[in-house]
């Protein structure tokens, strides 16, 4: 009798485990996107792409966008997202989350820039001493850490002003509320194209690869592979191309569209930057 009861209990446990595993495989995976633009514009860009990936890979995906980049960075450090489109896991504080790069946008590398309105009298970095300079947030990489690093090394003290996201500080620069702004070169160009506004760069960083798509260690290898395969093949599928073109037009993005495979190794210069920078990490 005891053996029979033990057998039934074992079968019950195994059955429960099977159901639990199946539910885990079917659950939505979170896709965290760094808030470079407004939440609405970010959703309009990414939701059609995620819907396409879900259709092709069979993996349910849900977009997660925080109101601010520092909050996004905190969530990255805690490993709260299953997949991310961000570079915030390169910092020493967030590296322990263990995200692994799997893909990146197909376009050219990006740079950090310090830009001014086209008609501004500011011509060099030294002209910014004591002036208000705008940045998206203390958590931004090429738009804050990289330009502030060079300003600090040159001994040029500025008054930082933060706007919460990339396009927020660009709007403040356009309105004349700050003398200059630290920006992501690609986001700046897209914003200017969309707004019909002209600007000028007074400093530009070395090139860095654009924000990667990375996967948390808890995501099964087969699941991650299915998503990456759908993502990379998107630019070769007429349906995918149409979605990418519409998304690009929405934000003023220039071709090429789509994504290519990538790895941690390709982002080595970003890991190295955070080992050497004189800018304190924002937490």
CA atoms of 39 and 147, how far apart (whole Å): 25
In a domain, 15, yes or no: no
pLDDT of residue 145: 96
CA atoms of 141 and 160, how far apart (whole Å): 15
CA atoms of 128 and 3, how far apart (whole Å): 81
In a domain, 1, yes or no: no
pLDDT band at 3 (very low <50, low <70, confident <90, very high): very low
Q: State whether 266 and 224 are in the same domain.
A: yes
Q: State whether 121 and 192 are in the same domain.
A: yes
Q: State whether 89 and 122 are in the same domain.
A: no
Q: Parallel, antiparallel, or unpaired: how do β-strands 180-184 and 132-135 relate? A: parallel
CA atoms of 97 and 77, how far apart (whole Å): 6
Percent of the chain residues topping a pLDDT of 70:
90
CA distances (Å), origin 29, targets 124, 195, 223: 46, 34, 10
Q: State whether 245 and 185 are in the same domain.
A: no
Question: In the predicted model, what is the mean pLDDT of residues 12-33?
Answer: 55
Per-residue model confidence as pLDDT tens digits over 209-218: 999 999 999 9
Task: Write out the two tokens for 257.
Answer: 């569209």
CA atoms of 24 and 259, how far apart (whole Å): 27
Q: Which of 204, 235, 261 is the last residue of a domain?
A: 204
In a domain, 20, yes or no: no
For residue 77, say if its preceding peptide bond is cis, omega within 30 degrees of 0.
no
Q: State whether 47 and 101 are in the same domain.
A: yes
pLDDT of residue 10: 34
- How far from chain centre, in Å, is Cα 2? 57
Q: Which of 170, 204, 238 is the last residue of a domain?
A: 204
Q: State whether 192 and 234 are in the same domain.
A: no
Q: State whether 97 and 131 are in the same domain.
A: no
Name the strands in the sheet holding 259-261, side by side, starting at the edge strand that comes first in the sequence.
61-64, 29-33, 83-85, 213-215, 100-105, 259-261
**46 pLDDT exceeds 60?**
yes
In a domain, 2, yes or no: no
pLDDT band at 87 (very low <50, low <70, confident <90, very high): very high
Per-residue model confidence as pLDDT tens digits over 97-136: 999 999 999 989 999 999 999 999 999 999 999 999 999 9
Question: In the predicted model, what is the mean pLDDT of residues 76-100?
Answer: 96
In a domain, 189, yes or no: yes
60 vs 164, higher pLDDT: 60
The residue range of the domain holding 185 is 112-204
Q: Whole-number mean pLDDT of the chain?
A: 90
pLDDT of residue 283: 52
**20 pLDDT exceeds 80?**
no
Question: In the predicted model, what is the mean pLDDT of residues 174-203?
Answer: 97
pLDDT band at 8 (very low <50, low <70, confident <90, very high): very low
In a domain, 3, yes or no: no
pLDDT of residue 282: 63
197 vs 18, higher pLDDT: 197
Beta strand segments in 80-212, E: 83-85, 100-105, 112-117, 132-135, 159-162, 180-184, 199-204
Q: Which of 159, 178, 204 is the last residue of a domain?
A: 204
Q: State pTM to two decimals.
A: 0.82
**24 pLDDT exceeds 50?**
no
């Amino acid at each position: 009798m005891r053996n029979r009861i033990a057998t039934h209990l074992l079968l019950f446990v195994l059955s429960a485990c099977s159901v639990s595993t199946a539910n885990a495989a079917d659950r939505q995976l979170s896709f965290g996107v760094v808030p470079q633009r407004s939440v609405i514009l970010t959703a309009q860009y990414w939701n059609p792409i995620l819907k396409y990936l879900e259709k092709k890979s069979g993996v349910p995906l849900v977009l997660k966008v925080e109101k601010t980049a520092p909050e996004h960075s905190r969530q990255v450090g805690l490993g709260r997202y299953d997949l991310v489109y961000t570079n915030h896991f390169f910092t020493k504080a967030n590296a322990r989350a263990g995200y692994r790069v799997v893909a990146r946008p197909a376009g050219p590398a990006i740079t950090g820039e310090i830009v001014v309105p086209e008609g501004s009298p500011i011509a060099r970095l030294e002209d910014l001493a004591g002036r208000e300079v705008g940045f998206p947030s203390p958590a931004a990489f090429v738009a804050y850490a990289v330009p502030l690093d060079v300003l600090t090394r040159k001994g040029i003290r500025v008054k930082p002003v933060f706007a919460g996201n990339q396009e927020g500080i660009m709007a403040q620069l356009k309105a004349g509320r700050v003398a200059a702004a630290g920006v992501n070169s690609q986001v700046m160009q897209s914003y200017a194209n969309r707004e019909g506004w002209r600007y000028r760069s007074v400093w530009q960083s070395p090139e860095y690869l654009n924000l990667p798509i990375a996967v948390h260690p808890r995501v099964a290898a087969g699941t991650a592979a299915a998503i990456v395969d759908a993502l990379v093949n998107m630019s070769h599928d007429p349906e995918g191309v149409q979605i990418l073109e519409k998304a690009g037009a929405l934000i003023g993005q220039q071709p090429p569209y789509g994504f290519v495979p990538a790895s941690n190794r390709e982002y080595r210069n970003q890991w190295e930057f955070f080992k050497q920078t004189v800018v304190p990490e924002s937490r």
